[in-house]
């Protein structure tokens, strides 16, 4: 997946929000508004596109075992978890920095980074997409792949790149 500058990433306090019933959805600007199925579908596509873009960036930086787990039907905290393995602490820190810098340049923002000091398990929370960057030993120890084993996966290698998505997730254009 070629990662180019997407038009869709907009810094929102708690992500884009595919479900309007949670505080993390689209910030206060859309709370209480009724959205059409078309709008919901476009928002879901934007969120999947963001998850795919994150996975592609990590893959470009030689991350191991990149996996995008669709947790939207079972968890209310996010729609996707992106699981990424780094070879060592330096690699995890490098991946964290690369994701932070590139997504910030594209207009994305996240909550404060968790775990960056140790580089054992780093979490970047983009609201609807939560990124877990783990060292190889941490991924084996916590075994998130087994824990989320029966959850659906996003085929991020064939997903639509974020650059072809629309800028306004709530609009009709």
Q: What is the mean pLDDT of residues 133-155?
A: 93
Beta carbons within 8 Å of 79's beta carbon, 6+ residues apart: 18, 44, 47, 48, 51, 70, 71, 72, 128, 129
Q: Give the best-scoring range by mean pLDDT among 14-23, 40-49, 142-151.
A: 142-151
Handedness of CA 141, 145, 148, 154 (dihedral sign): positive
Encode burial over 45-65: b for 16+ CB neighbours within 10 A, e otherwise.
bbbbbbbbbbbbbbbebebee
Distance from C-alpha of 4 to C-alpha of 7, rounded to nearest angstrom: 9
Question: What pLDDT does residue 36 have?
Answer: 78
- pLDDT tens digit string along 17-44? 444 444 443 333 344 456 677 777 788 8
Q: Is the pLDDT of residue 54 over 50?
A: yes
Question: What CA–CA distances, in Å, run from 163 to 110, 166, 169?
Answer: 19, 8, 14
pTM given for the model: 0.74
Flag whether pLDDT at 167 surpasses 80. Answer: no
Domains within the chain, CATH numbers bracketed = 28-164 (3.30.460.10)
DSSP strand pairing (80-86 vs 121-125): unpaired
Return d(Cα 5, Cα 165) in angstroms, integer.
11
Q: Among 4-13, 33-42, 49-58, which stretch is predicted with the lowest mean pLDDT?
A: 4-13
Within 8 A by CB and 6+ apart from 153, the residues are: 67, 68, 69, 70
pLDDT of residue 29: 37
């Amino acid at each position: 997946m070629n990662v180019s500058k997407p038009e869709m990433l907009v810094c929102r306090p708690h992500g884009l929000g595919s479900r309007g019933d949670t505080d993390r959805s689209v910030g206060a600007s859309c709370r209480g508004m009724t959205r059409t199925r078309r709008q919901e579908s476009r928002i879901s596509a934007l969120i999947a596109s963001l998850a795919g873009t994150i996975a592609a960036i990590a893959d470009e930086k030689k991350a191991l075992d990149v996996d995008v787990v669709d947790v939207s039907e079972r968890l209310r905290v996010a729609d996707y978890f992106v699981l990424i393995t780094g070879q060592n602490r330096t690699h995890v820190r490098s991946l964290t920095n690369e994701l932070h810098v590139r997504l910030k340049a594209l207009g994305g923002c996240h909550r404060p980074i968790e775990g960056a000091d140790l580089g054992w398990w780093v979490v970047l929370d983009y609201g609807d997409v939560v990124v877990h960057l783990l060292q190889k030993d941490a991924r084996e120890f916590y075994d998130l792949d087994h824990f989320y084993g029966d959850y659906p996966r996003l085929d991020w290698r064939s997903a639509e790149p974020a650059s072809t998505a629309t800028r306004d997730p709530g609009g009709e254009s």
